[in-house]
């Protein structure tokens, strides 16, 4: 069963084409990692898929019921407590105050936030806690699909790993599918069922690989071996880290 299908997506900013004929489908409950060089149009594609940007060409076919979204920066409302931020999608869905509170607290527990943190404002939280609030906000209305745009890039290694585990287990428990943009092939191999590689100038998906095993069950050794093989032997991944100004050459 397909949750999301992008067909022939094309987009341009100020007359400059950034996406051209991009086709990509994600199955229900499937996690697809989207990788590609910096500036190739991954964020634009995810914004098109989530309905934030109207594409110039192509069609977005949505089969899921409700989606959540996690951006690279937490993008919390600074004037609202962590609890109110997490409950925001529930408020939009007109869920009653008492229910909102209960569901926000239950979701906060899933991302290992303490109840006493929930009365704090974003400025009073650490960067990792803010990103957990953002993840809890995405989970709170029980979406069956989540868009992630490099959500863990700013986190340290240990926290990044915990957050990846959380996405894997939450996706299995709540059976949501996801389109997960990342620069990190280790992260992609750890959390996804499949990796799709975008062409350097947004000219479609150049190829995809189904990753052996199941997310959450691959050992560190297996992940390391898969990534090493991709980088050493698989031409598809040759340009993934090109033109990436955030990595040293
Ligand atoms: N709002 C905008 N107006 C004009 N150009 C934009 C806008 N947003 C993105 N672009 C351009 O579109 C291209 C694709 O940008 P996008 O942010 O989608 O890339 P990306 O693959 O997500 O890159 P990164 O990996 O660095 O996040 C880039 O050349 C960028 O400069
Ligand atoms: Mg981006």
- pLDDT tens track, the chain, 249 positions: 999 999 999 999 999 999 999 999 999 999 999 999 999 999 999 999 999 999 999 999 999 999 999 988 889 999 999 999 999 999 999 999 999 999 999 999 988 899 999 999 999 999 889 999 999 999 999 999 999 999 988 788 888 898 899 899 989 888 899 999 998 999 999 999 999 999 999 999 999 999 999 999 999 999 999 999 999 999 999 878 765 444 444
- Domain of 203, CATH number, reads 3.40.50.300
- Residue 30 inside a domain? The answer is yes
Rounded distance from Cα 246 to ligand 2 centre (Å): 12
- Residue 246 inside a domain? The answer is yes
Please tell me the total count of domains within the chain.
1
- The answer for residues whose C-beta is within 8 angstroms of residue 82's C-beta and 6 or more apart is 76, 108, 113, 117, 118, 119, 120, 121, 122, 125, 129, 133
pLDDT at 249: 40
Rounded distance from Cα 201 to ligand 2 centre (Å): 13
Q: Please say whether the beta carbons of 68 and 41 come within 8 A.
A: no
List residues, by chain if needed, whose CB lies under 5 Å from ion ligand 2.
Answer: 43
pLDDT at 173: 86
- Residue 28 inside a domain? The answer is yes
247 pocket-lining for ligand 1 (C-beta < 6 Å): no
- Ligand 1 nearest atom to the CA of residue 41, by list position: 18
Rounded distance from Cα 72 to ligand 1 centre (Å): 14
pLDDT at 247: 46
Residue to substitute in 37, 43, 204 for testing ligand 1 pocket (most ligand atoms within 8 angstroms of CB): 43
CA distance 121 to 17: 40
- Residue 243 inside a domain? The answer is yes
- Ligand 1 nearest atom to the CA of residue 246, by list position: 26
pLDDT at 155: 80
- Residue 245 inside a domain? The answer is yes
37 pocket-lining for ligand 1 (C-beta < 6 Å): no
For the record, the structure tokens of 145 come out as 């699909």
Domain residues for the domain of 29 are 7-61+177-249
41 pocket-lining for ligand 1 (C-beta < 6 Å): yes
Q: Please say whether the beta carbons of 22 and 197 come within 8 A.
A: no
pLDDT at 248: 44
pLDDT at 88: 96
CA distance 20 to 58: 9
- Ligand 1 nearest atom to the CA of residue 46, by list position: 18
Say what the pTM is.
0.92
- Residue 22 inside a domain? The answer is yes
> What SS3 state is found at 86?
helix
- Residue 130 inside a domain? The answer is no
Task: At 147, give phi and psi (nearest 5°).
Answer: -95, 125
Strand-strand pairing, 2-13 and 16-27: antiparallel
44 pocket-lining for ligand 1 (C-beta < 6 Å): yes
Question: By C-alpha distance, which of 127, 172, 109, 236 is closest to 118?
Answer: 109
Question: By C-alpha distance, which of 133, 135, 128, 161 is closest to 70?
Answer: 135
- Residue 43 inside a domain? The answer is yes
């Amino acid at each position: 069963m397909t949750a999301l299908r992008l067909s022939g997506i094309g987009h341009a900013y100020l007359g400059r084409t950034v996406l051209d004929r991009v086709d990509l489908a994600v199955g229900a409950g499937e996690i697809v990692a989207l990788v590609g060089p910096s500036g190739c149009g991954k964020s634009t594609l995810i914004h098109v898929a989530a309905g934030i940007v109207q594409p110039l060409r192509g069609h977005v076919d949505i089969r899921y019921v409700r989606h959540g979204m996690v951006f690279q920066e937490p993008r919390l409302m600074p004037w609202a407590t962590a609890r109110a931020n997490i409950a925001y999608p529930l408020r939009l869905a007109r869920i009653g105050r008492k229910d909102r509170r209960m569901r926000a607290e239950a979701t906060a527990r899933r991302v290992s936030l303490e109840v006493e943190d929930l009365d704090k404002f974003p400025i009073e939280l650490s960067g990792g806690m803010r990103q957990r609030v953002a993840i809890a906000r995405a989970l709170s209305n029980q979406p069956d699909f989540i868009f992630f745009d490099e959500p863990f890039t700013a986190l340290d290694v240990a926290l990044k790993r915990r957050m990846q585990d959380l996405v894997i287990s939450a996706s299995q428990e709540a059976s949501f599918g996801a389109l997960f943009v990342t620069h990190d092939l280790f992260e992609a191999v750890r959390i996804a069922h499949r990796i799709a590689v975008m062409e350097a100038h947004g000219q479609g998906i150049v190829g995809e690989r189904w990753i052996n095993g199941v997310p959450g069950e691959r050992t560190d050794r297996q992940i390391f071996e898969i990534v090493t093989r991709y980088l050493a032997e698989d031409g598809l991944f040759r340009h993934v880290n090109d033109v990436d100004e955030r990595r040293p050459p």
